[in-house]
Amino acid sequence: MAQTSIEWTELTWNPVTGCTKISAGCKFCYAEVMSKRLKAMGVDKYKDGFKKVRIHEDALRIPYTWKKSKVVFVNSMSDLFHKDVPLEFIQRVFQVMRDNGQHVFQVLTKRADRLAEISDQLSWSHNIWMGVSVEDERVTDRIDFLRQSGARVKFLSCEPLIGPLPNLNLKEIDWVIVGGESGHNPRPMNSDWVLDIQEQCQQANVAFFFKQWGGKNKKKAGRELNGKTYDEMPEIELQKLV
């Protein structure tokens, strides 16, 4: 596990590493940059490079060792629903999450079609939050696939937001995260797009989390929207989990 600076979670847990790009949101993939860096540093887990998807059996033990309840982002360095991750391994990851009902596990994918396809074969529990990335209108079908899954808490990660999303169908969606791209050459995020999503969430009574404006200097750009910080999350009822 690793501490993380991602605002909407506490820890990252990576039973899978490596991935391949699938849509425009992947252009400046953070996991790719980090994998290259870790490989150059000689970290064994990343020795095969980013494009080789690897499963890590030993990582399955880690959640059993955490003492206090955690909020955990699963697979920040990959996509659990990548075609190269065997169904049997995804099932084992789900079993680990189910066994550890004292923690919240946030799983995020861009392979929402595979999620819908195998959802019935996964062992869902209340502490598994399932999300899909929605960076622009071209990929909103992922939300329909997410709705077909067995997850109790369903969320959208609109980051990096690279286009407007004026007609979001938020039925059965519990949480929306929005963020702009950062780095050397970030694609711009229009403030109207963000305000529009915030308004749609408000109208649909969906928790809204504004992560960052992004840009070349993301610290300076900050994360205030209309002079306010939006840190809403779905209710975490840890004692009722599983």
Give contact residues for ligand SF4 (rule: CB under 6 A): 19, 21-22, 26, 29, 31-32, 78-79, 110
Burial code of 59-95, b = ≥16 C-beta within 10 A, e = fewer?
bbebbeeeeebbbbbbbbbbbbbbeebeeebbebbbe
Residue placing its CB nearer to ligand SF4 in the complex, 139 or 168:
139
Could you give phi then psi for residue 196, rounded to 5 degrees? -65, -45
Residue placing its CB nearer to ligand SF4 in the complex, 22 or 238:
22
Contact predicate 107/80, CB 8 Å: yes
Q: Which residue has the tokens 């959208």?
A: 156
Residue placing its CB nearer to ligand SF4 in the complex, 1 or 29:
29
User: CA angle, 227 as apex, 223 and 233 as ends, to 5°?
Assistant: 55
Task: Quote the least distance from Cβ 29 to ligand SF4, whole Å.
Answer: 3
Task: Quote the least distance from Cβ 102 to ligand SF4, whole Å.
Answer: 27
Task: Quote the least distance from Cβ 229 to ligand SF4, whole Å.
Answer: 25
Residue placing its CB nearer to ligand SF4 in the complex, 53 or 204:
53
Residue placing its CB nearer to ligand SF4 in the complex, 98 or 187:
187
Task: Quote the least distance from Cβ 118 to ligand SF4, whole Å.
Answer: 17
Torsion of CA 57, 114, 6, 161, to 10 degrees: 160
Task: Quote the least distance from Cβ 111 to ligand SF4, whole Å.
Answer: 7
Strands (DSSP E) found in the chain: 2-3, 11-13, 16-17, 54-55, 71-74, 104-109, 128-133, 153-158, 175-179, 207-212, 224-225, 228-229
Residue placing its CB nearer to ligand SF4 in the complex, 31 or 176:
31
10: region left, alpha or beta (phi > 0 left; psi from -120 to 50 alpha): alpha
Task: Quote the least distance from Cβ 37 to ligand SF4, whole Å.
Answer: 14
Number of H helices, E strands in the chain: 6, 12
Residue placing its CB nearer to ligand SF4 in the complex, 79 or 174:
79
Encoded tokens for 238: 């840890």
Beta bridge partners of 129: 106, 153
Beta bridge partners of 108: 131
Task: Quote the least distance from Cβ 22 to ligand SF4, whole Å.
Answer: 5
